[in-house]
């Protein structure tokens, strides 16, 4: 079976080249061709010795996940569905803006955490993505978008993807080693050269893994909070039963010692009548008083049979103003790509559920 070179960071590729009897600078050359030039055909790597090119053609491939389809929203948002095995597909979203291009990357096929308002979680869980499947999403997006002019300026960007958020399908920190290796590729100046401040990992609150990320690869951190107290969070974000809010806030404070930004972003999906009342905003102020942070409020994006509704505009306004009056920076996420089901919380892909969670939920709802 040929070795997929997208599975390697530079250190891993260098070690693999050493096994082939090749020098480290050859690994750097090939790494550059793959990630910066977007070349998958070894024959096109013109400054590589012919003998090495032939060796690579026999023993290696550069293979990103196959594209099943690509959709473009009316607002310019793009969504790809990538095939990652029989019955399994992952979704990746690119959000273009005037000053940046953000790629939302998936880390798992499905998700095992079962947050009740997330369509990905309702699909069940199949497996973790490999490094090649994670990096491959960026590789495809970066090099396919390079050929297209900016919708606003008409210019062709050398690096259309300036920001990466690990907020697609799955819980990134539940696939820790593969995600950290993929992050290393994204940050490497020989590859994509992204700033740590422009790469964000989102977690629902896997506390031990947050500590490990701080030590291994501190990037910007977003925490999917969604509730201001344990009783409510236990219901809608079940991982809270294992790592309650007191432990989660302590982990956030520890992370900030290493983080490239001096704040944590708390993501908060607003669910009408569930977590969008003024008392919830006041509880958030008490909860996060000792954690430098900003809030990103996300109006719920409906999907079939979710059981939740979008908050009223007035409820969202009051909630936001309570936080702002307390001195917090608060943003409200614009809904992008909802006409192609690419908005936050809508990514579902295709999951051949191995966890049995879907059937358990169906039986529970039927009981």
Q: Among all residues, which ones are annotated catalytic?
A: 91, 344
Instruction: Provide φ and ψ at 294, rounded to 5°.
Output: -130, 160
Query: Residue 182 to residues 16, 222, 274, 331: CA-CA distances in angstroms?
Result: 17, 18, 36, 28
Q: What six digits make up the tokens of 330?
A: 């608060």
Q: Are 164 and 138 in contact (CB under 8 A)?
A: yes
Q: Which of 199, 194, 177, 188 is nearest to 129 (CA)?
A: 177
Q: How many CB atoms lie within 10 A of CB 63?
A: 16
- Terminal Cα-to-Cα distance of the chain (whole angstroms): 48
Give the C-alpha separation, 306 to 304, whole Å. 6
State the burial class of residue 316 (Cβ atoms within 10 Å of its Cβ: 0-12, 13-18, 19+). middle
Beta strands 163-166 and 220-224, pairing class: unpaired
Count the residues in the chain: 367
């Amino acid at each position: 079976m040929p070795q997929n070179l997208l599975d390697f960071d530079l250190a891993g590729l260098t070690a693999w080249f050493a096994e082939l009897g090749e020098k480290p600078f050859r690994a750097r050359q090939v790494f550059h061709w793959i990630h910066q030039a977007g070349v998958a055909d070894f024959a096109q790597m013109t400054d590589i010795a012919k003998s090495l090119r032939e060796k690579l053609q026999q023993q290696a491939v550069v293979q990103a996940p196959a594209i099943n389809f690509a959709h473009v929203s009316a607002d310019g948002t793009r969504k790809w569905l990538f095939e990652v095995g029989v019955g399994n597909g992952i979704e990746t979203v690119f959000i273009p803006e005037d000053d940046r291009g953000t790629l939302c990357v998936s880390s798992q096929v499905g998700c095992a955490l079962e947050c009740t308002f997330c369509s990905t979680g309702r699909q069940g869980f199949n497996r973790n993505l490999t490094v090649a499947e994670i990096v491959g999403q960026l590789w495809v997006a970066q090099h396919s978008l390079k050929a297209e002019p900016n919708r606003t300026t008409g210019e062709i960007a050398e690096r259309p993807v300036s920001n990466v958020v690990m907020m697609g399908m799955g819980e990134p920190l539940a696939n820790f080693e593969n995600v950290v290796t993929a992050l290393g590729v994204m940050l490497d100046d020989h590859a994509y050269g992204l700033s740590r401040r422009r790469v964000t990992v989102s977690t629902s609150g896997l506390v031990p893994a947050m500590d490990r990320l701080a030590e291994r690869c501190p990037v910007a951190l977003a925490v999917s909070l969604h509730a201001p107290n344990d009783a409510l969070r236990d219901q809608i974000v079940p991982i809270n039963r294992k790592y309650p809010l007191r432990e989660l806030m302590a982990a956030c404070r520890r992370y900030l010692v290493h983080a490239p930004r001096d704040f944590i972003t708390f993501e908060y999906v607003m669910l009408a009548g569930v977590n969008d009342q003024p008392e919830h905003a006041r509880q958030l102020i008490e909860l996060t008083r000792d954690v430098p942070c900003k809030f990103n409020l996300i109006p719920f994006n409906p999907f079939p049979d979710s059981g939740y509704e979008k908050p009223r505009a007035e409820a969202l306004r009051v909630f936001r103003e309570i936080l702002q009056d307390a001195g917090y920076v608060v943003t409200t996420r614009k809904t992008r790509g909802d006409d192609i089901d690419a908005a936050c919380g809508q990514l579902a892909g295709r999951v051949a559920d191995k966890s049995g969670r879907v059937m358990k939920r169906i039986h529970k709802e039927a009981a």
